[in-house]
Structure 1
Amino acid sequence: MSPEAIWDAACETWSVGRAELDRLASAIDRVAFTKVVEAIGDCRGRIAVAGVGTSGAAAKKIAHSLCCIERPAFFLSPGDGVHGALGAVQPDDIAILISKGGNSPEIVRLVASLKAKRVFIIAVTENENSEIGRAADQLLKIRIEREADRFNMLATTSTMAVIAVFDAVCIALMTYTGYSREQFAIIHPSGAVGERLLAGKE
């Protein structure tokens, strides 16, 4: 494989990703997005975010981003969840369940317990008729046209789209909750960002 072909593969990946990001404004249901922001913004408990595989990686990033804007969140391991870790989730909490197809057994197994604990469930999936899609209190459908690889199978742009949507949720939440620069300085005093905040720089 030539260096040119390697670079072409990289550019094609970015091109596909860019096209999928451009689609989000028209593909995401505006009412559903707003309800997700309102639910998280009004939540009096914590937000448990669960996913497996690349959805699990996205879930961890989303949980961290929510913490960064003072929406207490944590990654709930689906495997640990059904072995006792669901005790961390309480009735005032929200559970965000992420599964591209919506039928991942590890995620589906969480639903009955979450329902029994009266936890508000947000399902993030491309399939509204899936197990978690039907069980959710709020569905947020995120569907892409294609993945970046030539087989249209490797979770690349689909994972990026989920993260991008929740980046947008977090930015909207900053306005919804009146989140301030001073709050951010308290919880992020370290690193380059912390230095800028403590110095009062943009």
Structure 2
Amino acid sequence: MDRALLEKSIRHTFAVEAESIAALEQKLDMGTILKIVQTLGDCKGKVLVAGCGTSSAAAKKIAHSLCCVEVPACYINPSDAVHGGLGMLQEEDVLILVSKGGNTQEIVNFIPACKTKKALLIGVTENLESVLAKQSDIVYNVRVDREPCPFNMLATASTLAVISAFDAVCIALMHYTHYTREQFSVIHPGGAVGARLLDHEK
């Protein structure tokens, strides 16, 4: 084992990922973020989120975080969606599709049903020339300069960037909807967070 090489690799990964997150403030369009906050905050239906591969991990985190700020959301599996699961999507809903390249077929498959049902589509991609970007009502263009892996391919920094980009949306939603600590204590009674919330109410 070449300890020096491995330690260098580890430090490099931390540095690249930290730089990628720090750069989002300048790279992300503030007008788009505010539009997403308003769209989700005013949504009368529910929010469905989907992605494939590492994007599915980001999609699941986005759905969970939205639920934590009282924006009803759920992850929908792309393969199940096109075998009847898209019946969950209705006109007042918002569909968030996450695809780094924006042309992932399993994700593109969602688009016709979304258009037919007149749901609002938010596309999350780094590729503005992709099918997803061109078909979306709102495009959240989240991109990083590079991945830390030697091939610049393994979606690590880019996945964290998508999660961070929606963390910003979720925290802004707390302000937009005037979300309270009391609301949070109702839906998060478990774990250390729940204990702190319930103790605060005493």
TM-score exceeds 0.5:
yes
Deviation per residue, 1:123-178 (Å, 9 max, x gap)? 00011121110100101101110001011000000000000000110000000000
Aligned to 1:180: 180
1:110 lines up with 2:114 in the alignment? no
User: What is the TM-score when the length of structure 1 is the normalising length?
Assistant: 0.98
Aligned to 1:48: 48
Q: Number of matched residues?
A: 201
Give the deviation of 1:195 after TM superposition. Answer: 0.2
Aligned to 1:194: 194
Percent pairwise identity = 50
One-letter amino acid of the structure 1 residue matched with residue 171 of structure 2: I
One-letter amino acid of the structure 1 residue matched with residue 11 of structure 2: C
One-letter amino acid of the structure 2 residue matched with residue 142 of structure 1: V
Give the deviation of 1:76 after TM superposition. Answer: 1.0
Aligned to 1:127: 127
Alignment partner of 1:200: what SS? Answer: helix
Give the deviation of 1:2 after TM superposition. Answer: 2.1
Segments of structure 2 that go 5 or more residues without pairing to the other structure are none
1:31 lines up with 2:31 in the alignment? yes
Deviation per residue, 1:60-110 (Å, 9 max, x gap)? 011001001100000011111100000111100000000001000000011
In 1: Cα distance, 2:103 partner to 2:46 partner: 24
In 2: Cα distance, 1:95 partner to 1:102 partner: 15
User: What is the TM-score when the length of structure 2 is the normalising length?
Assistant: 0.98
Segments of structure 1 that go 5 or more residues without pairing to the other structure are none
In 1: Cα distance, 2:32 partner to 2:115 partner: 20
Aligned to 1:10: 10
In 2: Cα distance, 1:40 partner to 1:70 partner: 10
Aligned to 2:57: 57
In 2: Cα distance, 1:115 partner to 1:76 partner: 17
Aligned to 2:86: 86
